[in-house]
Structure 1
Amino acid sequence: MSSFPRLTSKHDAEEGLTLAPKFDARGLVTCVTTDADTGDLLMVAHMNEESLRKTIESGEAWYWSRSRQSLWHKGDTSGQIQTVVEMRIDCDQDAIWLKVRVGGDGGCCHTGRHSCFYRIQPIGGGEASLRPLIISEAR
């Protein structure tokens, strides 16, 4: 059973101040993470109830790793701890937006890039490309 409340009123969910996240059937909610200073999109991950609660309590980003099926404190091994500057919840409370500052060297992506969104796919034709590693972004 969730320690977060369940709101039955659409008005309360959309206009109220109560955090009542709508976790999916697997107990997850999508989380979009951006750089608080630049606005760059860093990553998209998932949170379960425990990781959301730990994020709120600690002020650092915690996620649920679907591939490892385990709690994941972002930066625990890499040193790229994400300190939360602001957390926003969307209108129907089924998505989270974290604005963070990333500690340590490099970026947020396990490839060593600043962002996990480094693959560029042209619209309407052309060849895809990868954003190169920049020395300051390399781990």
Structure 2
Amino acid sequence: MTSLDPAISARLKRNDQGLVPAVVQQHDTGEVLMLGWMDDEALHRTLTTGRGTFWSRSRNEYWVKGETSGHRQHVVEVRLDCDGDTLLVKVDQEGPACHTGARTCFDEDLLGPDRG
């Protein structure tokens, strides 16, 4: 296991499982694509490989977005919010970001079309 830069690691505020939420956004349009979870290793891999790498809470393993589907995320920028408890990962997304085949995991408007 490799290690994350200590200066970055010191700024991260992790949950009880050692994870930080990572909001993934299309770099040129601002479209929010998905939410993933990163620990220090996933963030290190993302920063060093330029590929969106996350911790799967259900499978208990690391996964690289698009590794099996081909819908890769090429990381353009990674930012840490002012509180140190959320990451913003700006990517160039190839194909759909959602496992359902939708462009984004956030495609349902809960307010609906008749919101006034």
TM-score by length of 2: 0.86
Aligned partners of 2:24 and 2:91 also within 8 Å: yes
Of 32, 44, 52, 1:41 maps to: 32
Report which of the two structures shows the higher radius of gyration computed on alpha carbons: 1
Superposition RMSD on alpha carbons, in Å?
A: 2.0
5 Å matches for 1:96-115?
96-103=87-94, 106-115=95-104
Of 100, 109, 115, 1:120 maps to: 109
Q: Which amino acid aligns with 1:37?
A: D
Q: Deviations over 1:103-135 (max 9, x none)?
A: 2xx310011111000111117x969xxxxxxxx
**Runs (5+) with no aligned partner, structure 2:** none
**Across the two proteins, how many residue pairs are aligned to each other?**
111
**Runs (5+) with no aligned partner, structure 1:** 6-17, 128-139
1:119 partner SS? coil
CA distance in 1, matches of 2:99, 2:21: 19
Q: Which residue of 2 aligns with 1:11?
A: none
1:50 partner SS? helix
- State, as a whole percentage, how many aligned pairs show the same letter: 42
5 Å matches for 1:21-60?
21-60=12-51
